[in-house]
Structure 1
Amino acid sequence: MSGYLDRFVAEARSRGELVVQPRMGFGTIDTMRAGLREVAALGIPAVGTITVDSYTRVGDHVRPLERLMEGEELNGYPIVTHRPERTRDMLDGLYGPSFPIQVRHGTALPQKVIESLVRAGLDTTEGGPVSYCLPYSRLPLAQAVEAWAEGCRFLANETERGHIESFGGCLLGQLCPPSLLVAMTVLEGRFFLQHGVRYMSLSYAQGTHGDQDRGALRALRELARLYLGDATWHVVLYTYMGLFPRTPAGAIALIGDSARLARDTGCERLIVKTVSEAWQIPSVAENVRALRLAATAMPGSRNAAPALEEAFFAEVLEEARCIVDAVLNLDPDVGKALIRAFETGILDIPFCLHRDNRHEATCTLDERGALMWGNAGNLPISGRTRQAEVAPLRSGDLYRMLNHVADRYDNGPAGRRIVSRPGEELNDRSF
């Protein structure tokens, strides 16, 4: 029957515990198993991750085998290349009710990945027709929509409780106003439902302003209740997905703030980054330390929401609902509606270079450091929330925006507290 993830998350929530999860994948069977075993042994509510390699993401299932035979390491697990029975053996004794495992892959054509994970006995993955196409692929959106429809139907038909986590809330989230991220994850949730997937998680990426994030996460829950019917869902927060602090102390502070944001807002699961994100692919040990840090971060004080959070909640809720309604009104088939929405600019992702994106909407940071619309293009948001047009961004403006969070944490009190070079070992007290 499986469905381990949903039950595991629900049980953790009933105990008031936050579920943490790394972003981790390795090419060989033995290394991947060793990494999963380390996460499973943590003694905290944690979900295992199998992240696939970059060759598999673009549909190349031969090159991974060649690289492994040459003794090279891959940047992820080639789940299509490894035979399902070998993956089953790798999971034996680890995967189960007390340790769910999710496959994360980043491919616009997910059929082979989904088939492979199901054949290996797994039933949980992530992505979506838009969120795994526009930032990662040059494939036409229409092709990705059809591929994801096929993948969803396979997962729904071949598993009892197949689960997909929409990546819509992370779609270039470091430079995208949260209303569009919230709308996208809700729309992908509707897409999953239409193709038979009733178990899902809804993502949101930590942004540039805490009150804005708290308001946005409240709006996401409100809209999920309105639009996702009888689906079983929970909310997953991602530690900031943009350029990460370069100082260990700055990174530690940001990871801790993401954990407190998750707890403050009732998120059930947190995808955790590591201290070394800015300069290397994290090791197993670094992932384990980051998970411990996130799991032990103290929640912030949650009395009455401040006025600014309430204002952001109202703004994101209004904008996101306008976007969702406008898209769903285009066609009863959600996939066709998504394609038409990008054609007309009703959906338009700032700074996304995909050819099916209109490239009219832009984002800026206001004086508070919050993500706001620069030019809203043809997005169907009301006059009250539509931002005034601003001058075209210069390269220096974009650079400043991309580095805003990293600079704030590196140059603030936390970033100055510990001086360390990339690669230096930090003792456990630093976490």
Structure 2
Amino acid sequence: MSERRGPFAAAVAAARARGELVVQPRMGFGDPAAMRAGLTAVARARATTVGTITLDSYTRVGDQAAAARALADGSPLNGYPIVAHPVEVTRWVLGAAQEQGVPVQVRHGSARPEEIFAALLRTGVDATEGGPVSYCLPYSRVPLRDAVDSWAHCCEAYTRLRDVGVEPHLESFGGCLLGQLCPPSLLVAVSVLEGMFFRQHGLRSVSLSYAQQTCPEQDEEALAALRRLIDELLPELDSHVVLYTYMGVYPRTTEGALGLLGAAARLAVRGGAARLIVKTPAEAHRIPTIEENVAALEHAARVAATERRAVTSAPDTGIYAEARTLIEAVLELSDDIGTALRRAFERGHLDIPYCLHPDNAGRARGYITAQGRLAWARPGRMPVRVEHPVGGRPAEMTSDGLLAALSYVATRYDEATPPTLGPAEPVLELTPGRRHNRTSR
């Protein structure tokens, strides 16, 4: 598959061959000098890293005029406005990481990303992420039909990087969705379906995602199901799995945040993920600094190094079968994956719990069991069999119950030492290092 890899996918594949977990920040700054400094620091971290340019909110929603005004006024931005900056500036930003052999992925959050993909093509960035469902329903009010059409055009346009000898890589955000209170089978199914959508529109190198949830054992099973479905449904693609550190309410204490990050690093190794998206202890309070990002990357890398990369068979509680049923129900609706996805949401065959987008049916509900696992309180019209615990169906979620559920993970890690799946993680060093653990670039 090496002939189908651009710099980003090749770097991840090389790390996997060495038995190393790739750790990646979610870093983004509006100022080019700060963005370049961030990429330089990530490249120099004592970890196997890839860089990130996270885009600002104006660019994500297509308000390029507002992004340009913010640059002119010197107003702060919460990410890098890649469309507003000249191509030469972005190439200068990228140059620092490229000189050290560290590839960069652009992360954005846009339901209609045509201008963003055009900027990627101009600058030659070979890796980005998102998807027609995962960047539409959770984060926008753009009609799903429009998002599907936009992403189809963007995927096809992105393949033009092959004209200059570069194979583009696209990561599905489908394993995250709203980030919490969504049973794993739906996360796995949407990630695989978006991977199939990417393939239909010309992509040959992809990564499929899953976000750490409430129960390590359940997450291991979900990752095993995701890997199996990739092997069955996307075998010809160059692919890898990416795990996101918990995307919901984050622990407020440093100890709790580091415990959760350490658990994510161990889960990534045990679950066979090639890449881990890292969060910092500052996440609950503010946007992290460059130094805090690097310290978190190094902490995750140290914890991962203590965990044996021996992927085992997780107990089967039905996540694979449920995800496969959801995927097949969608594929029965049309040979065109985009059309099938639209029809699936129209009919409620896919339904994201607690998602308020107009195109989401909103009938499905998830809850956290007494054992800490995510389960369906009710599946709406999805083809999902629900077995309720002794005593009947869980009570309808109240506002207080929803707040408690959203804070479940943060509270658990802030108030108690979490159960571990491996050796305790080492103490976080707060000063970023300058040497690499890579044996090759």
Q: TM-score range by the shorter chain?
A: over 0.9
User: 1:52 and 1:303, CA in 2 relative to 1: closer, same or farther beyond 3 A?
Assistant: closer
Q: 2:240 is matched with which residue?
A: 234
Q: 1:6 is matched with which residue?
A: 9
Q: 2:102 is matched with which residue?
A: 99
TM-score using structure 1 length: 0.92
Separation in structure 2 between the aligned mates of residue 23 and residue 371 of structure 1, nearest angstrom? 26
Kept in 1: contact 2:105–2:128 (CA 8 A): yes
Q: Shift of the alpha carbon at 1:92?
A: 2.0
Counterpart code for 2:220:
R
Separation in structure 2 between the aligned mates of residue 166 and residue 77 of structure 1, nearest angstrom? 21
Match of 2:56 among 29, 53, 57: 53
Q: 2:436 is matched with which residue?
A: none
Match of 1:188 among 194, 197, 203: 194
Residue 136 of structure 2 is aligned to residue 133 of structure 1: yes
Q: 1:332 is matched with which residue?
A: 335
Q: Shift of the alpha carbon at 1:303?
A: 7.4
Kept in 1: contact 2:270–2:311 (CA 8 A): no
Q: 2:209 is matched with which residue?
A: 203
Separation in structure 1 between the aligned mates of residue 321 and residue 384 of structure 2, nearest angstrom? 8
Q: Shift of the alpha carbon at 1:299?
A: 4.1
Kept in 2: contact 1:4–1:96 (CA 8 A): no
Match of 1:246 among 243, 246, 252: 252
What is the number of residues matched between the two proteins? 417
Q: 1:418 is matched with which residue?
A: none
* Stretch of structure 1 that moved more, 210-219 or 223-232: 223-232
Separation in structure 1 between the aligned mates of residue 212 and residue 334 of structure 2, nearest angstrom? 31
Q: Shift of the alpha carbon at 1:382?
A: 3.8
Q: 2:301 is matched with which residue?
A: 295
Separation in structure 2 between the aligned mates of residue 104 and residue 305 of structure 1, nearest angstrom? 31
Q: Shift of the alpha carbon at 1:157?
A: 2.5
* Stretch of structure 1 that moved more, 217-226 or 376-385: 376-385
In the TM superposition, what whole-angstrom CA distance separates every residue of 1:279-324 from its partner, at most 9, and x where no partner exists?
1111111100000000000444677958xx4133xx1101000000
Residue 126 of structure 2 is aligned to residue 123 of structure 1: yes
Q: How does 1:206-217 map to 2 (within 5 A)?
A: 206-217=212-223
Separation in structure 1 between the aligned mates of residue 179 and residue 92 of structure 2, nearest angstrom? 37
Local SS of the residue matching 1:363: strand
* Stretch of structure 1 that moved more, 249-258 or 381-390: 381-390
Please give the root-mean-square deviation of Cα atoms over the aligned residues, in Å. 2.3
Q: Shift of the alpha carbon at 1:407?
A: 0.4
Match of 2:292 among 267, 286, 293: 286
Q: Shift of the alpha carbon at 1:41?
A: 1.1
Kept in 1: contact 2:279–2:296 (CA 8 A): yes
Match of 1:25 among 21, 25, 28: 28
* Stretch of structure 1 that moved more, 291-300 or 145-154: 291-300
Match of 2:417 among 386, 389, 413: 413
Q: Shift of the alpha carbon at 1:381?
A: 2.1
Separation in structure 1 between the aligned mates of residue 256 and residue 96 of structure 2, nearest angstrom? 37
* Stretch of structure 1 that moved more, 74-83 or 387-396: 387-396
Separation in structure 2 between the aligned mates of residue 76 and residue 359 of structure 1, nearest angstrom? 31
**Percent pairwise identity:** 51
Local SS of the residue matching 2:64: coil
Q: How does 1:373-412 map to 2 (within 5 A)?
A: 373-382=376-385, 389-412=393-416
Q: 1:255 is matched with which residue?
A: 261
Q: Shift of the alpha carbon at 1:370?
A: 0.5
Kept in 1: contact 2:6–2:126 (CA 8 A): yes
In the TM superposition, what whole-angstrom CA distance separates every residue of 1:122-162 from its partner, at most 9, and x where no partner exists?
11100000000001110100000000000000001333411
Kept in 2: contact 1:345–1:378 (CA 8 A): yes
Q: Shift of the alpha carbon at 1:384?
A: 6.3
Counterpart code for 1:310:
P
Q: Shift of the alpha carbon at 1:69?
A: 1.7
Separation in structure 2 between the aligned mates of residue 6 and residue 186 of structure 1, nearest angstrom? 18
Match of 1:316 among 309, 319, 340: 319
Kept in 1: contact 2:213–2:246 (CA 8 A): yes
User: 1:167 and 1:402, CA in 2 relative to 1: closer, same or farther beyond 3 A?
Assistant: same
Separation in structure 1 between the aligned mates of residue 96 and residue 36 of structure 2, nearest angstrom? 10
Separation in structure 2 between the aligned mates of residue 386 and residue 139 of structure 1, nearest angstrom? 38
Residue 86 of structure 2 is aligned to residue 80 of structure 1: no
Q: 1:174 is matched with which residue?
A: 180
Local SS of the residue matching 2:27: coil
List gaps (5 residues or longer) in structure 1.
416-425
Separation in structure 1 between the aligned mates of residue 388 and residue 229 of structure 2, nearest angstrom? 18
Kept in 1: contact 2:299–2:429 (CA 8 A): no
In the TM superposition, what whole-angstrom CA distance separates every residue of 1:3-28 from its partner, at most 9, and x where no partner exists?
11111111111110000000010001
Q: 2:279 is matched with which residue?
A: 273
Kept in 2: contact 1:264–1:299 (CA 8 A): no
Q: Shift of the alpha carbon at 1:84?
A: 1.4
Q: 1:90 is matched with which residue?
A: 93
Asked which structure has the greater RCO (Cα within 8 Å, sep 6+), the reply is 2
Q: Shift of the alpha carbon at 1:70?
A: 1.5
User: 1:300 and 1:68, CA in 2 relative to 1: closer, same or farther beyond 3 A?
Assistant: same
Kept in 2: contact 1:376–1:386 (CA 8 A): no
Separation in structure 2 between the aligned mates of residue 203 and residue 304 of structure 1, nearest angstrom? 17
Kept in 2: contact 1:4–1:97 (CA 8 A): no
User: 1:404 and 1:47, CA in 2 relative to 1: closer, same or farther beyond 3 A?
Assistant: same
Kept in 1: contact 2:412–2:418 (CA 8 A): no
Local SS of the residue matching 1:204: strand
Local SS of the residue matching 1:241: coil
Kept in 1: contact 2:40–2:96 (CA 8 A): no
Separation in structure 1 between the aligned mates of residue 413 and residue 236 of structure 2, nearest angstrom? 41
